Structure 1
Amino acid sequence: MSTRYSIIVGSMLGAAEYVADALAEVIREHNGQAEIHLEPALDDIPKDSVWVVCTSTHGAGDLPDNIQPFATSLENTDLSDISAYIVGLGDSSYDTFCFGAETMEGLLRKGGATLLEKPLHIDVLHHPIPEDEAVNWFRSRIRS
């Protein structure tokens, strides 16, 4: 039986969506099932899937608008059955570098989720095509 993945996207300008698409391809190459959630809602995301949270940071260290309701729904939610990866996109010239990913990490940990790896924080200053960096990182970590 192939592993199911739910890719939960937080994006304002589209870079996290490109990363999500690239990660979905890697999952499918490994015979997994990937579903991308561009407007994530907790009730729509299977708890028996591996979550891949892929988010940028917006404004003064905020989560993108499309993932904020999902993040709010995670507060005070039991996530002990959840296994997850986190991929954050940011620009290290800002002191709020990858705060969106850090926010999601905090919510997942508080809910008792298991992080399968240390979160990946991609600096778009050094990796202008962030999906390449994400694919290189994820390819060696994916569960078939």
Structure 2
Amino acid sequence: MSKIDIIVGTTLGNAEYVADEIASELTALGHEIQLHLTPNRTELTQDSLWFIVSSTHGAGDLPDNIQPFFNEIEQNQPDLSHKKFIICAIGDSSYDTFCHGPTKLECLLEHCSAKACVDKIEIDVQRDPIPEKAALSWILKRQDRL
């Protein structure tokens, strides 16, 4: 099974709750999971899959707890060609910056040559008021790519 670092970007706790549910499900499937609420690239497992679960904050920004992770990658521009990632973005479509924070991170990772192993999901809390259900359904349909 896979080693997976779940990297959480959360302001009000919704993304953290979704990440906890994903971690429980993936652990039950036999994956080795580490959850990171204050992610630091140097503390992540070298050969792990990065599973990013993040909301958008403010005017399309990443939450404060994941912003230093983004800044470090943006400033150092590391070669991430060996890295695979997944993005689970959570937002509210009533805002014109719907899911912009995680999309910025996705673009940065791709700029550093990391590869998405599944298409990202953008969970709209207007349509899916229980975002963990949508996230679990999405990832379980793609678990063969982990």
TM-score by length of 1: 0.96
Cα distance in 1 for residues equivalent to 2:46 and 2:54 = 19
Aligned mates of 2:24, 2:140 — CA distance in 1:
10
Query: In the aligned structure 1, how far is the partner of 2:45 from the partner of 2:100?
Result: 26
1:79-130 deviations in Å (ceiling 9; x for gaps): 1111110000000000000001101111110010010111100000111110
| Residue of structure 1 equivalent to 2:35 | 36
For structure 1, the 5+ residue unaligned runs are none
Name the SS of the counterpart of 1:79 in structure 2.
coil
Matched, 1:19 2:9: no
Please state how far the C-alpha of 1:74 moved relative to its aligned partner. Answer: 1.3
Residue 50 of structure 1 and its aligned partner are, at CA, apart by 0.7
1:15-63, Cα deviation, whole Å (9 max, x unpaired): 0001101111121121111110000001011120011011000000010
Q: Which residue of 1 aligns with 2:94?
A: 93
Q: 2:38 is aligned with what amino acid? A: E
| Aligned position for 2:60 | 61
SS in 2 for 1:73: helix
Task: Determine if the alignment matches structure 1 residue 126 to structure 2 residue 142.
Answer: no
1:130 and 1:88 map into 2 onto residues whose CA distance is: 10
Q: Give the match's secondary structure for 2:66.
A: helix
TM-score, structure 2 length as denominator? 0.95
- Partners of 2:135 and 2:41 lie apart in 1 by 24
Following TM superposition, the consecutive aligned residue runs of length 4 or more in structure 1 with deviations greater than 2 angstroms are: none
State the secondary structure of the residue aligned to 1:84: strand
Aligned to 1:137: 138
The within-5 A match list for 1:75-114 is 75=74, 76-114=77-115
CA contact (8 A) 1:47 1:81 kept: no
- For 1:6, the equivalent position in structure 2 comes to 5
2: CA distance, partners of 1:78 / 1:129: 36
Superposition RMSD on alpha carbons, in Å? 1.0
Give how far 1:72 is off. 0.9
SS in 2 for 1:65: coil
Aligned residues: 143
